[in-house]
Amino acid sequence: MRSQVVIVGGGPSGLLLGQLLHLKGIDTVVLERKTRDYVLRRIRAGILETGLVNMMREAGVAGRMEKECYVHHGTCISYENELFDINFRELIGQNVVVYGQTELTHDLYDARDATGGRTIFEVEGVEIHDADSDAPYVTFTADGRNQRIDCDFVAGCDGFHGVSRQTIPDSVRKEYEKVFPFGWLGILSETPPVHDELIYANSSRGFALCSMRNENLSRYYVQCALTDKIEAWSDEAFWDELKRRIPESVADRLVTGPSIEKSIAPLRSFVSEPMRWGRLFLCGDAAHIVPPTGAKGLNTAASDVHYLNDALVRYYQDKDSHGIETYSEKALSRVWKAERFSWATTNLLHRFPDQTDFDLKMQRAEIQSLHYHETAQTWFAQNYVGLPY
């Protein structure tokens, strides 16, 4: 089998790359370790930056998103009983949209089906060979048979635990990581959102987030210890704790109900450099992880796809390899800016076990600076809606 580009990973970044390349006449094969149903059952964040929204339009898969998404013109920050709004539209004339990653992935799979794109599910033993040569190839097992695909390039969109990053030799690859000393306990409930905008809450009891998927589906989080177990958190205990961490005016109108999904996620910042080795490119979680505080995970993957798509199109259409040679540098430049924003907002809004009284006073001063200074709010808005590619 042969393809111009092999995409390892059938999540949203791999599918978006495949759709964009298809529109330029570039052939791809997508390899996915799980089943399609498994991929589409995964619950992930759904805040889309301006750049990702525009890429969905460019890929011709924005129809349902445009009809069903929720446009958010700002966000809210609370500290103790104070609540203030950061209005993106007034500050910078932009917005974000809420559209579940599961729905976005559905749209991309439907588009791939419509174009006849090749997708192979339940692959095992994927190995990337000769990525540092002009003739890379990928081997794997599917349907009980050993298979091989020869290609020009490999796009590693297979996540943090995938094989793509590990293919880059240790002597070449350098990894940077910060693990935060807490996690997020999150629940999904069939209840109306408590507010029109997201609320990021800093309280003496720890961080909380009030988010949503649609008018009858809400997503809530509270900061928790890494040692906490899901079974130790009843729905009643979760709702009680959430109410203690948000302003009284918000807690009084919170509609509670049974959780339909509950999970605990650790928080970490992670970057692997470089993001290109020969003809292998890393995209998304294969190369970097951000804390969810700044809503950057899917969006940093999308910016990688933007740079890689541009590089490959220029290579095939213009025989210009400059985009390929500079892909890692361009992608990492934006990744580190997103890492900074996520790191900064995580430090701003959470309680840390080793914080001193001085640290808490400084944290409060930082939040008040964001509350009362337009320059600080403008910086926050520019980063939240997404820096330009």
Q: Is residue 22 within 8 Å of 118, Cβ to Cβ?
A: no
187 φ/ψ angles, rounded to the nearest 5 degrees: -130, 150
In this structure, is residue 80 part of a structural domain? no
Mapped onto helix, strand or coil, the DSSP state of residue 302 is helix
In this structure, is residue 92 part of a structural domain? no
State whether 279 and 299 are in the same domain: yes
State whether 50 and 134 are in the same domain: yes
State whether 60 and 196 are in the same domain: no
In this structure, is residue 76 part of a structural domain? no
Q: Is residue 279 within 8 Å of 153, Cβ to Cβ?
A: yes
State yes or no: is 176 an active-site residue.
no
What is the structure's pLDDT at 43?
65
State whether 300 and 255 are in the same domain: no
In this structure, is residue 8 part of a structural domain? yes
What CA–CA distance (Å, rounded) separates 50 from 299? Answer: 9
Q: Among residues 200, 220, 221, 315, which one is catalytic?
A: 200
State whether 231 and 158 are in the same domain: no
What is the model's pTM?
0.94
What is the structure's pLDDT at 45?
67
In this structure, is residue 79 part of a structural domain? no
In the chain, the amino acid numbered 144 is G
Tokens found for residue 90: 């007034």
State whether 117 and 166 are in the same domain: yes
Number of domains in the chain: 2
State yes or no: is 200 an active-site residue.
yes
CATH code of 340's domain: 3.50.50.60
What CA–CA distance (Å, rounded) separates 156 from 166? Answer: 10
Tokens found for residue 320: 């210009």
What CA–CA distance (Å, rounded) separates 126 from 142? Answer: 10
State yes or no: is 307 an active-site residue.
no
What is the structure's pLDDT at 368?
97
State whether 272 and 214 are in the same domain: no
State whether 215 and 229 are in the same domain: yes
Strand partners, 64: none
State whether 11 and 113 are in the same domain: yes
Per-residue pLDDT for the chain (389 aa), expressed as one digit of tens each?
999 999 999 999 999 999 999 999 999 999 999 999 989 887 666 899 999 999 999 999 999 999 999 999 999 999 989 999 999 999 999 999 999 889 999 999 999 999 999 999 999 999 999 999 999 999 999 999 999 999 999 999 999 999 999 999 999 999 999 999 999 999 999 999 999 999 999 999 999 999 988 888 899 999 999 999 999 999 999 999 999 999 999 999 999 999 999 999 999 999 999 999 999 999 999 999 999 998 899 999 999 999 999 999 999 999 999 999 999 999 999 999 999 999 999 999 999 999 999 999 999 999 999 999 999 999 999 999 999 99
Q: Among residues 296, 306, 330, 350, which one is catalytic?
A: 296
Q: Among residues 109, 307, 316, 384, which one is catalytic?
A: 384
State whether 48 and 126 are in the same domain: yes
In this structure, is residue 57 part of a structural domain? yes
Classify burial at 144, counting beta carbons within 10 Å of its beta carbon; exposed 0-12, middle 13-18, buried 19 or more.
exposed
Mapped onto helix, strand or coil, the DSSP state of residue 168 is coil
Q: Among residues 72, 306, 330, 350, which one is catalytic?
A: 72
What Å distances lie between residue 331 and 300, 309, 325, CA to CA? Answer: 9, 12, 12
In this structure, is residue 93 part of a structural domain? no
Q: Is residue 374 within 8 Å of 91, Cβ to Cβ?
A: yes
What CA–CA distance (Å, rounded) separates 297 from 294? Answer: 8
In this structure, is residue 232 part of a structural domain? yes
What CA–CA distance (Å, rounded) separates 255 from 244? Answer: 14
State yes or no: is 72 an active-site residue.
yes
What is the structure's pLDDT at 309?
98
Listed residue (156, 159, 99, 122) closest to 37, CA to CA? 122
State whether 49 and 192 are in the same domain: no
Q: Is residue 274 within 8 Å of 288, Cβ to Cβ?
A: no
Mapped onto helix, strand or coil, the DSSP state of residue 274 is coil
The residue segments making up the domain with residue 305 are 2-70+99-177+268-347
State yes or no: is 229 an active-site residue.
no
What CA–CA distance (Å, rounded) separates 154 from 164? Answer: 9
CATH code of 242's domain: 3.30.9.10
What CA–CA distance (Å, rounded) separates 98 from 301? Answer: 17
What is the structure's pLDDT at 120?
97
State whether 139 and 193 are in the same domain: no
Q: Among residues 292, 315, 316, 327, which one is catalytic?
A: 292
Q: Is residue 96 within 8 Å of 104, Cβ to Cβ?
A: no
